[in-house]
Structure 1
Amino acid sequence: MPRENGDKRPGAWARRAVDRLLADRAAERPTPLHAFPLAGPGGTALYLKDESRRPTGSLKHGPARDLFIDALRRGRIDRDTPLYEATSGNMAVAQAHFARLLDLEYTAVVPERTGPAKRRRIESRGGRVHPVDPPLAVYERAGELARTHGGHYLDHLQQVGRAIDFASPSSLGAEILGDLERLGEPDPAWIVLGAGTGATSAAVGRALRRRGSGTRLAVVDPENSAYFPGWASGVRDYTTGMPSRIEGIGRPRMEPAFDPDLVDLVIPVPDAASVAAMRHLHAVTGVLAGPSSGSCLWGACQVLDRMRRDGAGGPVVLIVGDGGEAYHDTYYDDSWSTGRGLDLAGPLRVLRRFTETGDWTPGGPS
């Protein structure tokens, strides 16, 4: 952002920065809503809300911008404040983008084992990468760097839940309802999404309640993650101590932003099913998505099967969290999947049968 020589009053630069980010949000076009072809009984429909089409390629784009707006309004960021974050994924890419927009220095503190492709994605947006070991030291190190250099630790895991503006007309929940209304469809019967920080499910849930919508919210959860067992047992601080293998979703602990009271169903998804469904999604629709979108497709199929068995109707919307371009050498690579013990053949048969016939029978005959 140009460093103007005009208003020098305290907070003037921060106010201009907030105005710049709000204008950026207002100018952003809604992401596409794609229909997924379904066989079987009528009365239901499946749509993909493609958040990979955000300017930085993922669902994290809007929450990252809201984090900046919140920190600016609270006086945590000024024109010369260096920014730090502990993440190597899509949130770091989005934050680096907005830091560059405001002409601010940005450093992502990442595990030493973070691959070169991930590092390049952050650096391509103007960010710096600061590797540390062991991996769990990233949080302490990001805070330490911010204190040492007079900067601000964005700390998305703790702060993003309150920062997201769920009441905005351009929020994800509002966009989905508007998309379906323009198609002449009713509010969705279900929205299916994943949980990383848990902030997106909370924001969508609050937007639905504010609207008075009867839409129900399903969260998909990969192996090793804490959200399903924590939600099922009612233990809000549940921990597994194990990392998720599905990029973008799943956490070893229930994060503060996740609100189980806003979630109607949490669906555990095997990792092999997530990867298989990601590939099936691309084969059927041409949408090249990341593995969290595969988790959402697997969960959406279960929801649709449940609706049909109950005689219910209406649209179901799943969230495509990010694009698949960054995963060509991992989740889209057969040798990578095989090396991690992921047998995709069974889940792919289940998905093909459901798409072609409407029959959902995981574990049944091929």
Structure 2
Amino acid sequence: MPHTDLPYPDRSLTAAERDWHCHALSRINADYQRSADTHLLKLQLPCFQGSTLYLKDESIHPSGSLKHRLARSLFLFGLANGNIKQNTTIVEASSGNTAISEAYFAQLLGLPFIAVIPKKTAPEKIKKIEFYGGRTHKVDSHHIYEEATKLARDLDGHYMDQFTYAERATDWRGSNNIAERLFEQMQNEPRPILDWVVMSAGTGGTSATIGRYIRYRHDLNKHTRLCVVDPDHSVYADYFSTQDPKLKNSKASHIEGIGQPRPQPSFVTSVIDTVLKIPDAASIATIHWLESILDRKVGGSTGTNVYGALQYIAQATKQNKPINVATVICDPGSRYLDTFYNTDWLREQHIDIAPYLEQLRSFQNTGQLNPISS
């Protein structure tokens, strides 16, 4: 028996707290069983000349985006660490999709949720956060982290801090993460080996998970490489080259959910093979081009992913060496009807997608991505 006179507090959970904790884990695990996997779409256009583009469709998660996986992991991480309890207010700094997914899980557990978001966040994303019972707190994009920290402290809540914990909350060795499922879904394909995985980075958590998994699996490490695509006004590409943690960009990316004005702790450069810088106009043109192929709208980060993937396919076509490339459909285009699919918004932002649309349509006919005229 322990000594009862020791001057240490007993922080054991009460019976009621343990009951709620078990209930919370049960609710999250039930959601996991209902939505454990997403589709892997296969594109073999004539212009690919033997190459294949695979699209992991993360937009079909219950909360509508790739961030559903991250939100689940962050909630489990918070529960396991004792940071999330019954009635804990959950706070997150997010440009939209992570906040939507976290609002979904907060509602699932009956917890208050507040998203600290940039003032220019798409209205459709705000509606989704509110649909799941969350509230929003709008600030300048460069102050969302500090404001989220302060808000959580003032409310005695829990700041999820996706930008710090994304890369460690997810089990990169498996547990049905996006990397494990992607490569398992490839197993019955005629050529199951992927040459490239192309992934944009927001927190950096997904690219870290995929990169670590590739290196963890020696059979993949021999053949598969990871490219991170980075939009305009993001520092990730420069950070990959310079490793300078003081890098900053004063202008926010137009492509919501990816790119950052400063390096984030979850962006792990050591597991990335290379990076590509993708112009915003190219990302947005690509989602308009994709609509004619997929018969559906997708978000801007998907455009960044696909435009990057097409660079490798075009290069393989020129060399007459077909390859397999995989990337991700991050979220649905319905969240961007007021922005990326709105000609007035594009004009206001001085974004001209016409040259890139012409380039992509020419590629569809010839298999060549001709340079954009300056």
Structures share fold, TM-score greater than 0.5: yes
What does residue 90 of structure 1 align with? Answer: 97
Distance in 2 of aligned mates of 1:123 and 1:67:
20
Do structure 1's residue 205 and structure 2's residue 214 form an aligned pair? no
Aligned match of 1:223: 232
Q: Distance in 2 between matches of 1:41 and 1:277?
A: 16
Deviation at 1:311, TM superposition (A): 4.7
Does the Cα contact within 8 Å between 2:95 and 2:256 map onto a contact in 1?
A: no
Deviations along 1:196-246, one digit per CA (max 9) or x if unpaired, are 111110011112222221211111111111011111234355322321111
CA deviations on 1:130-162 (whole Å, 9 max, x unpaired) are 33x444333223222222222111111112221
What does residue range 14-25 of structure 1 map to in structure 2 within 5 Å? 14-25=21-32
Distance 1:23 1:115 in 2: 30
Gaps of 5+ in 2: 1-13
Q: Distance in 1 between matches of 2:263 and 2:136?
A: 27
Maintained 8 Å contact 1:350/1:361: yes
- Aligned pairs for 1:1-366 (under 5 A) are 8=15, 11-40=18-47, 42-112=49-119, 114=121, 116-131=123-138, 133-212=139-218, 213=220, 214-363=223-372
| Counterparts in 2 of 1:276 and 1:134: CA distance versus 1, 3 Å | closer
User: CA–CA distance in 2 between the matches of 1:113 and 1:285?
Assistant: 28
Q: Judge conservation of contact 1:193–1:219 (CA < 8 Å) in 2.
A: yes
Structure 1, unaligned stretches of length 5 or more?
Answer: 1-6
* Contact 2:57 2:328 (8 Å CA) reproduced: yes
- The total of aligned residue pairs comes to 358
SS at match of 2:212: helix
Q: How far apart are residue 114 of structure 1 and its match?
A: 4.4
TM-score (norm 1): 0.91
- CA distance in 2 between partners of 1:184 and 1:216 (Å): 19
Preserved contact between residue 157 and residue 255 of structure 1 (Cα < 8 Å)? yes
1:307-342 alpha-carbon deviations (Å, 9 max, x no partner)? 334454331112111110011121011222122221
- Verify the 8 A CA contact 2:92 2:115 in the aligned structure 1: yes
Q: Which stretch of the first structure deviates more once superposed, 342-351 or 56-65? A: 342-351
1:45-81 deviation digits (Å, cap 9, x = unpaired) = 1121111111111110000110000010000011121
Give the C-alpha shift of residue 182 in structure 1.
3.1
Stretch of structure 1 that moved more, 144-153 or 319-328: 144-153
Q: Distance in 2 between matches of 1:115 and 1:269?
A: 21
Name the CA shift for 1:19/1:166 in 2 (closer, same or farther; >3 Å): farther
SS in structure 2 opposite 1:181? coil
Q: Answer whether contact 2:17 2:86 (CA < 8 A) is retained.
A: no
Equivalent pair of 2:199/2:228 in contact (CA under 8 Å): yes
SS at match of 2:370: coil
